[in-house]
């Protein structure tokens, strides 16, 4: 039973014919040329989906976001059928693991060829029990950009899930340097945004809140599912423009992502926060049980 | 005679023993695994040097900047001797071309291994005559970040030459969409910065000016050489904090980079600018003649 599974797409962009949409490749072999613009310019987009017992989760939502990110980078439209086929096939090979994930990567391809590169990598998930139950320590970091940069300055690619994640990785290192587990970005003009690899969820009374995607942040697929779960529990949900005051006013807070799922925030900048263990447990059970 | 030359470093980080510092590899073969963090996170740094008749230019300055960028990303210290040997060897294979370039790429390596990846790719240069003589049209784009982000917000990695260049590439596409050739970034609070892949040089009377690296921009190796050339011509040189007014006040303007060298700016946002053909020609002759 392989621990890691790799499928390389034969024709990741729409409109090209290929005898087969993908082929399985040994993930330890070299697949990429050094002139691939994904490797030299971070010029591409990606998605990460949870996999439950061999079934990729929220496939439609992730493929839709992959296409949106690609459009923002003016990449060729991805061939949705090919990506879906590769995603499902890789996920199926993880069927013996309760939890896994697949990562879809779509780059501009080898410079000069005009042919993008695409692959789907699958792997069993690390154990996220501690983050899901005991919670995580978070530090607030300035993202440097104003809240309206996405609309005004589209070349900044805010809201696209690009391969240019060096800043996101540096923010997580900064959080760990400060003794925390993860970071939460605020805009330079003081609005709550998102984590480097996650969405922010707040609960206040009978309401679930998350920062508006008008702020140039990713539309979170796990956040959307958490909203659906919340509404089924009788909570109201809304996308809002929030300042850090909203953190202090919240009854409970989470960072949401596709593999770790809901991680309750137990401290912000060193100040302890109470977590709602019961709601968190039910939310994570719901997220883990998805089979679409 | 090969058109493109690739050397893969055996041990790109300092402190590891390797029987040979690099090996030549066919650049059309796959060299990278898909789990290389350069390809999945844009998590690495790079340098591009001009090559004149087989001699890499400004090697010391570029290797020093590679090490500085690596330190900003908390990558292991690069093995300078190995990078130098690979750079010189690749450049030598371009000896039959008057102009070429080498690109050094240093990534965090395959996730989980703790071993960085490094390579040097060499190629003959495209013909930059038109940009160097007729000049380039430039548009001014807001970089979104305040001028003091480098000092205050180090996780934004401003001033490091990282592989996360999707925004830089998008800025050049935006420039072309507007009918121009290249872009010039300004900070969100109105200070001149740099181009997406170049430095800005201004001439006013007997002075050469460039934006200060305190603004979170790269220390330009070609810009530094242009300053040395200018001083040898009796000009004074200085690093300054400049606003866009300085563009209007300048007698001549250039974008400087290691392969295109000095490209005079013939228009900014559609407004024609005069170019100093004579000085530009001598500057480019000087830059092309470097053999260190």
- A265-286 tens-digit pLDDT: 999 999 999 999 999 999 999 9
Write down the pLDDT at residue A1: 45
User: What's chain A's average pLDDT?
Assistant: 96
Domains of chain A: 5-125 (3.30.470.10), 130-289 (3.20.10.10)
- Check pLDDT > 90 for residue A220: yes
Q: Which of the 8 DSSP states describes residue B196?
A: T
Contacts of A188 in chain B (CB under 8 A): 145-146, 188
Q: What is the full per-residue pLDDT of chain B (292 aa) written as tens digits?
A: 458 999 999 999 998 888 899 999 999 999 999 999 999 999 999 999 999 999 999 999 999 999 999 999 999 999 999 999 999 999 999 999 999 999 999 999 999 999 999 999 999 999 999 999 999 999 999 999 999 888 889 999 999 999 999 999 999 999 999 999 999 999 999 999 999 999 999 999 999 999 999 999 999 999 999 999 999 999 999 999 999 999 999 999 999 999 999 999 999 999 999 999 999 999 999 999 998 7
Per-residue pLDDT tens over the stretch A83-98:
999 999 999 999 999 9
Beta-strand pair A271-272/B5-9: unpaired
Nearest CA in chain A to B118: A34
Rounded CA separation A64/A59 (Å):
8
Per-residue confidence (pLDDT) for residue A2, from 0 to 100: 53
pLDDT band at A15 (very low <50, low <70, confident <90, very high): confident
If you average pLDDT over residues A38-62, what whole number do you get?
Answer: 97
Query: In this predicted structure, what is the pLDDT of residue B9?
Result: 97
**Two structure tokens written together for A16:** 């090209």
Longest dimension (CA), chain B: 57
Chain A (104-123) residues lying within 8 Å, Cβ to Cβ, of chain B: 105, 107, 119, 121
The H helix count followed by the E strand count for chain A is: 9, 14
Contact flag A165-B41 (C-beta cutoff 8 Å) = yes
Of residues A39, A74, A152, nearest to B39 (C-beta):
A39
Residues 158-217 of B with CB under 8 A from A: 160, 162-171, 173-174, 188
Q: What pLDDT is attached to residue B2? A: 54
Q: What is the per-residue pLDDT for B1?
A: 45
Q: Any CB–CB contact under 8 A between A23 and chain B?
A: no
Q: What is the ipTM of this complex?
A: 0.96
Q: How far is B113 from chain A (nearest CA, A)?
A: 12
The residue of chain B with its CA nearest to that of A142 is B153
Per-residue pLDDT tens for A189-217?
999 999 999 999 999 999 999 999 999 99
Q: What DSSP line would sit under B32-79, residue for residue?
A: B-TTBHHHHH--EEEEEEEEETTEESSHHHHHHHHHHHHHHTTPPPB-
**Residues linked to residue A12 through DSSP beta bridges, in sequence order:** none
The structure tokens listed for A115 are: 């042919």
């Amino acid at each position: 039973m392989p621990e890691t599974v790799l499928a390389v797409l034969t024709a990741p962009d729409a409109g090209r014919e290929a005898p087969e949409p993908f082929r399985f490749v040994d993930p330890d072999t070299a697949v990429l040329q050094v002139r691939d613009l994904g490797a030299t310019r971070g010029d591409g987009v990606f998605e990460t989906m949870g996999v439950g017992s061999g079934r990729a989760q929220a496939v439609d939502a992730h493929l839709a976001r992959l296409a949106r990110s690609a459009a923002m980078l003016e990449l060729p439209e991805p061939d949705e059928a090919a990506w879906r086929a590769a995603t499902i096939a890789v996920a199926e090979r993880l069927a013996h693991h309760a939890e896994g994930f697949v990562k879809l990567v779509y780059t501009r391809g080898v410079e000069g060829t005009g042919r993008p590169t695409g692959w789907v990598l699958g792997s069993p998930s690390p154990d996220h029990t501690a983050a899901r139950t005991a919670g995580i320590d978070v530090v607030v970091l300035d993202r440097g950009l104003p809240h309206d940069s996405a609309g005004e300055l589209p070349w900044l690619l805010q809201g696209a899930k690009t391969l240019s994640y060096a800043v996101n990785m540096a923010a997580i290192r900064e959080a760990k340097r400060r003794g925390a587990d993860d970071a939460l970005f605020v805009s330079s003009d003081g609005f709550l945004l998102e984590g480097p690899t996650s969405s922010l969820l707040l609960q206040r009374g009978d309401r679930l809140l998350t920062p508006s995607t008008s702020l140039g942040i990713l539309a979170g697929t796990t956040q959307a599912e958490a909203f659906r779960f919340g509404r089924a529990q009788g909570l109201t949900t809304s996308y809002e423009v929030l300042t850090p005051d909203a953190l202090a006013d919240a009854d409970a807070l989470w960072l949401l992502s596709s593999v770790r799922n809901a991680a309750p925030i137990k401290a912000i900048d060193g100040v302890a926060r109470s977590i709602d263990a019961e709601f968190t447990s039910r939310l994570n059970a719901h997220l883990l049980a998805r089979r679409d």
